[in-house]
Chains A and B, each alone.
Chain A
Amino acid sequence: MKMFNPSHTTIRILERIALTAGLFAFVLCILIMVNYYQLRRSDPLNTPGIKILVERLNSNPEDEQLKQQIRELDLLARKAFFTNRWQIKTGGYLLIFTIFVLVSSLKTIELIKPRLPVLPSDEKETFWNNRLLNRKWLSYSGIGLLVFALVFAFLSYRQLGKTLELSATNPAAAKGENTESVSPTANQTGAVSDSSSVSDTASATATAAWASWDELKQNFPGFRGPGGNGIAFQKNIPVQWDGKSGKNIKWKTAVPLTGYNSPVVWREKVFLSGANNSKREVYCYNALDGKLLWTTAIEKIPGSPAASPKVNSETGQAAPTVATNGNLVFAIFANGDIAALSMDGKISWSKNLGLPKNHYGHSSSLLVYQDLVIVQFDQSGNAAVLGLNSTNGEIAWKTSRDVKVSWSSPILVNTGSRFELILVAEPYMISYNPKTGKELWRIESISGEVGPSAAYADGIAYSVNDYSKLAAIKVGSNPTQLWESDEYLSDIPSPLATSSYLFLPTSYGTFVCYDAKDGTKYWEKELGSPTYASPVLVDGKVYQLDKKGVMHIIRPDKVFASIGEPQLGEGSVCTPAFSDGHIFIRGDRNLYCIGK
């Protein structure tokens, strides 16, 4: 008679449970995987059936029955999707439970029927062989890993570092371009914000080869900063220094030739130009130590007049500030010579635009916009504004201007719907499309020999000139004058606008603050010295340099508040330039870098 063995029977039962659970788990796994595959393929928001129905609805938008049908189908598709997800989740729980049953059964079997020791074969003889094998295979693994690393490195060799380095130092040559989105405006406290959502569609083109607006903002690419509007975006700007004692003067270096143009900064390079009656030169300094990196003479340009024009001593032969797009530096002189230089000083192209008929001397600074260099060429009788191709100097567009000779510079602003180029000269403030040169609007707002450039903030442009008036113009297709004032006027320095305030320096040394919207005068301040330099709003403060070299640092507010009046110890008529933590000032003889 067969003896009943409880352990044996229990083991058999457990084995069957384990087998069943194992099979069930296997089937569940397959089903979950199928469901997962279905879920990945399903896209309830783009069901082909619904798409067809929607197309039919487009041709018959009033068909209520069709709308209902679409809704029902949509609901069904969504339900199917979420049901699928529910199935996977529930299946997961079921699978865990099943595996728990499987493992529990097998563990119980182990408990009931423990593994018995098995005497091994005589391994002692193989111990030393094993060690030898071990060493051998360790060596093979090491060599294999090394070979794999070398082969992988060879196959994946892309010189990424070098490419990035090249692209980082030459961003304009990079293949892509980030979306530009803004024009600078300054809010009530003077903090600069980019509030416009308008994108510069041209610059959004993936293959553009010009500096983006953000790259311009990170640098100080021209007269009065990016766009020439007197607003800079650098941080940690010093407020204390002293030229005599050398406090916070990082370096100071003599500039070979005179020029009333202002410094321009791109990364670690500072650019200036200088000229006399026989020479015209462009200089590049190392922003870190003031070392003159290169000097390039602008000479032997076809069409250039044999003799330099007679100019006013306060204008000189090199009054226009250079401009850069990070790839090339552009310089123009009183004789109409214009040149583009690479960042290491090699002339890329040069030409003569014709001798400007300008009795004080040409002084309008250059401006870069995408792949163009903008030249305001206001002269007696044949004024024009030109867009030159930055890479070869060819005229991309030229627009004649029925204005008198002027000494102001163009500004580039984003009015919320487009970029506009705003120029002032008697008798108009005129806006152009910077890409095509097409006139957008004009308004009579100014008269006389116009020296100050326009200012812009929050939809209002400002023009000012001595013996004329200060006018606030609401820009747009039908520009209107919002307010005007003739109490304080400027003939050289340009105004500075924020969304709340208009700051007006005068060449005789009075600094005035107006309400930007209605022209209410908040305060006026005698600076104690004439002022030719234009103010710049940076790091939440207004920096206004006077002719004696005293920097008036003012908090933009309804009440006058001086933050400091550090002295350079040398006179200056130039507008300062900025980089993070540094100010660059061209004195009468020297170029200064202020910073710690």
Chain B
Amino acid sequence: MKQRIASLILFIFGVLTPYSYGIQRFPKPEFETGYVQPQTSMPSARLEFLAYLDVAVLVLALSIVSWMVLKKRSRTGVFWISMFSLAYFGFYREGCVCSIGSIQNVSLAIFDLSYAIPISVLAFFLIPLIYTLFFGRTFCAAVCPFGAMQDLVAFKPQPIGIRLNTILGILPYLYLGLSVLYAATGTDFIICRYDPFVGIFRLNASFGMFVFAGILLASGVFIARPYCRFLCPYGVILNWFSRFSRRHMSITPSNCIQCRLCENSCPYDAIDIPVQSKDPESKQARVKKLILISLIMPLMIVAGAYAGLILHEPLAGIHSKVKLAKQVLNPPKDTKLADTFEMQAFKSSGKPQAQVYQEALLVLNKYKQASMILGGFLGLVFSLLIAGRMLKKYNPDYTPNKGRCFSCGRCMDFCPIKPGS
């Protein structure tokens, strides 16, 4: 019977494939007339209380997930909440408002006092951080729709090797720095602009973004949660907060018996294995290295700041005022390329060129400082990451890495010790 059902579904798909394309490929010409223009209508604004409803749903979802992870230790429960989040925050709310993007609103609000950040956006930024401080990254586990979508397709996760992991692990810091830079300078909200999943939620995006989303999801089958691990800027902040989490999930509900069954259970390489063997490096050598890194640290910050300084012009290149000034200064020879909307608006505004240049100069000056801070921040990140890998580590049991662990609960199922046993 089941085989028949499978064959029927196979038949339906097989028939639909050419039909769905062919029937619309050559539509019959229709020459009917009498088309009546529809009246222009403006969609009404979303009711204000719904924004608070979103916050309430966020709090509720976070509470339930935290309970599921820490008390119930239920991976299944986490999975179904992630499906709810995907449906609500993803497809119903179309990916907006989102905690990841809220970084930009907060940055802009800090650096531009004329910008009033909506309370709901601030709540979406702060509430997951507060929960993380107490319970670890339960937001990533099942409340973030981006994470939920990627988690759904992580069927065959493979380890990607320490080299690639290290190199790609730098990207979120870079992305965080850039998104704060561009938001703080009022340039752009790049997290939203280059959000790969929002196009899926809305079924509306540029072709390039659809391809990007497709690549991420396809690679997500083998490299679990690629966006969360190697791009998400909010993940960087959650990582920092989670390290200080008061009650983080544990793999075992009791004492670890070191059976090693959970060792390869995490698709995100977020389990710290016990270190019992002696560090092959002598204490003296490690102390030397630490002294060296503490000396190099300021140098790395300065080098980063210098790199930021020399890159401030290219970085500022995407600011609308700088872009316009460049176009005015060197209009493209191709008249089609030269006739951009921005140029048309500039011409019709009657604004003098000198003013355009002055405005662009102000932006460039702002970028000089901001780019230096970005570079310095990256220098600091590198030096701290390297220093962190020099510290002696005491880790007697298999434990989730508090910073990297998404609290998805997969590893719990691999532990032979059950609560109460």
Contacts and interface: CB of A to CB of B under 8 A. Distances in A.
Interface in B1-23: 2-3, 5-6, 9-10, 13-14, 16-17, 20-21
B421 interface: no
Given A79-B27, A124-B276, A153-B314, 20 more contacts: A20-B13, A96-B200, A114-B413, A120-B260, A120-B264, A123-B273, A124-B275, A138-B170, A141-B167, A141-B382, A145-B170, A145-B174, A149-B375, A150-B310, A160-B313, A165-B357, A167-B354, A168-B354, A174-B329, A175-B330
B34 interface: no
Given A138-B166, A176-B328, A161 B347 contact: no
Contacts of B261: 117, 119
Interface centre among A120, A153, A157 (most CB of B within 10 A): A153
Contact of B329 (A29, A87, A90, A164): A164
B265 A92 contact: no
A106 B152 CA distance: 10
Contact of B360 (A36, A131, A138, A164): A164
A214 interface: yes
A150 B311 CA distance: 8
B118 interface: no
B353 interface: yes
A2 interface: no
Interface of A: 9-10, 13, 16-17, 20-21, 23-24, 27-29, 31, 36, 40, 72, 75-76, 79-80, 83, 86-87, 89-94, 96, 98, 103, 106-107, 110, 114, 117-120, 123-125, 127-128, 130-131, 133-135, 137-142, 145-146, 149-150, 152-153, 156-158, 160-161, 163-165, 167-169, 171, 174-182, 194, 206, 212-215, 218, 326
Majority secondary structure of chain A interface residues (helix, strand, loop or mixed): helix
Nearest to A165: B361
Contacts of A137: 162-163, 166-167
B20 to A, nearest CB: 7
Contacts of B379: 142
A125 B277 contact: yes
Interface in B273-297: 273-277, 279-281
A96 to B, nearest CB: 8
B357 A167 contact: yes
Contacts of A157: 313
Contacts of B16: 24, 94
Interface in B289-316: 300, 303-304, 307-308, 310-311, 313-314
B106 interface: no
A36 B207 contact: yes
B273 to A, nearest CB: 6
Contacts of A171: 352-354, 357
B328 to A, nearest CB: 5
A36 B206 CA distance: 10
A29 B211 CA distance: 10
Interface size class of B (residues with CB under 8 A): 35 or more
Contacts of B331: 175-176, 206
B160 interface: no
Contacts of B347: 178-179
Interface centre among A92, A131, A133, A212 (most CB of B within 10 A): A131
B414 interface: yes
Contact of B162 (A96, A118, A130, A213): A130
A212 B389 CA distance: 62
Contacts of B163: 133, 137
Contacts, number: 215
Contacts of B318: none
Interface in B139-154: 152-153
Given A76-B29, A124-B277, A150-B307, A117 B414 contact: yes
A242 B413 CA distance: 86
B350 A138 contact: no
A9 B378 CA distance: 54
B203 interface: yes
B326 interface: yes
B277 A21 contact: no
A160 B353 contact: no
B13 A152 contact: no
Contact of B214 (A29, A103, A153, A182): A29
Closest 3 CB pairs of A and B: A168-B357, A171-B354, A149-B307
Contact of B350 (A153, A163, A181): A181
B313 A86 contact: no
Contact of A142 (B10, B300, B308): B300
B390 A135 contact: yes
A178 B277 contact: no
Contact of A212 (B27, B200, B203, B352): B352
Contacts of B21: 31, 87
Contacts of B346: 178
B31 interface: yes
A180 B349 CA distance: 10
Given A117-B264, A137-B163, A164-B364, A174 B353 contact: yes
A234 to B, nearest CB: 14
Interface in B304-352: 304, 307-308, 310-311, 313-314, 322, 325-326, 328-331, 346-348, 350-352
29 contacts: A9-B2, A24-B16, A29-B214, A36-B207, A40-B207, A79-B29, A87-B21, A94-B16, A94-B20, A98-B13, A110-B155, A123-B263, A125-B277, A127-B273, A133-B163, A134-B162, A142-B300, A142-B379, A146-B303, A160-B322, A160-B326, A161-B313, A168-B357, A175-B331, A176-B353, A179-B347, A180-B350, A212-B353, A214-B351
B166 to A, nearest CB: 4
Contacts of B375: 149
B388 to A, nearest CB: 9
A168 B350 contact: no
A215 B3 contact: no
A98 B304 CA distance: 47
B353 A167 contact: yes
B352 A83 contact: no
Contacts of B304: 146
A158 B273 contact: no
Contacts of B260: 119-120
A164 B174 CA distance: 29
Given A72-B29, A160-B364, A171-B357, A149 B310 contact: yes
Nearest to B331: A176
Contacts of A72: 29, 31
A168 B361 contact: yes
Contact of B27 (A80, A120, A146): A80
A305 to B, nearest CB: 39
A297 to B, nearest CB: 30
